Amino acid sequence: MSDQVQQPVDPNENPYGYLGIAKNPDGSITRLFQPPSTPASSDPSNPFHLSKDLDINQSKGTWARIFVPRKAFDDDDSSPKQKLPLIIYFHAGGFVACSVNTAMFDALYTPIVTEIPAVVVSVEYRLGPEHRLPAAYEDCFEALHWIIKNSNDEWLEKHADFSKAFLMGSSAGGNIVYHVGLQVAACVDDLLPLQIKGLIMHQPFFGGIERTESELRLANDRFVPLSLTDLMWDLSLPIGVDRDHEYCNPMAKIKPDQFDQVKSLGWKILVTGFDGDLMIDRQIELWKKLEEKGVSVTGKFDEGGAHAYELGDPTKAKELAIVIKDLVESTTTS
């Protein structure tokens, strides 16, 4: 959301303008601008990583950007190399904004690719209100099957360890990780040789009808206020449902066996947040529920900060990458 912050618009007064969109009389929207973007680069002089874009589903306009650490291409000879963990990433944007190539996400891509190190596949999914939920969930689940079908891609085949894969998402992407993760847990054999070992929910985007303490405390936040999150849910949820729908508030209708498969698979889960983010209470609620259900989950909740804080602070982004590295290294390859 940092690129929208640069616009001379107060999200508390004009959340549409803050997102760079205008509401039309028929309820549709017009997108007035796109945030700055970064192209893929296979320039060997890049000191951090190389990247390339591949289509997933042309009819839907979905695609992925693959990142491989620059060091993985060094000394490319016939000797066998240890493959790297595979992190499948779903981007932020409240289900209505941003893209895989949005420039601000480079702040996360670079430390995750280089610090762990890992191969990252960042997935482009359809946005609302043109494509309301569950479109994003469907696209991201389809992307997993696409990765399997493209496992012979030169970069994936040579550098990615399909037996050590993780789903990661920021904000709306963290919400996607939750929902797609539960879907994957129910059909793991269908995704072989892709083996998910953990879920990483970075400041996941959740809501609900009843306001939490942190939502009331930070209702007029200058970066991500309630007026903005309310608009995002209005534009992304299925028409006619309320804010306690499972897509928005998964805690509202928890089933007794909701996490049994996740638990039996031994997946490790990370939930992160800052107390300067109005969603912190919902993130902590999810962490506590997972812990209560016996899931192997870690909660990392820091003082201060804000929503998408790491995108504007390289030090915090590196700290997050190191926490993710610890989770990745704590898993074992089957």
Paired tokens of 279: 């969603």
- Is the backbone peptide bond immediately before 193 cis, with ω within 30 degrees of 0? yes
Distances (CA, A) of 225 to 109, 115, 256, 320: 26, 32, 33, 24
How many C-beta atoms surround the C-beta of residue 138 within 10 A?
17
Q: Find where tokens 């999914």 sit.
A: 125
* Active-site position among 2, 99, 122, 171: 171
Q: Is 55 a catalytic residue?
A: no
Q: Is 91 a catalytic residue?
A: no
Q: Is 171 a catalytic residue?
A: yes
Give the burial string for 87-114 (b: 16+ CB within 10 Å, else e): bbbbbbbbbbbbbbbbbbbbbbbbbbbb
Alpha-carbon gap, residue 12 to 219, rounded angstroms: 9
- DSSP SS3 for 62: strand
Query: C-alpha 230: how far from its chain's center?
Result: 19
Catalytic residue numbers, as ranges? 171, 277, 307
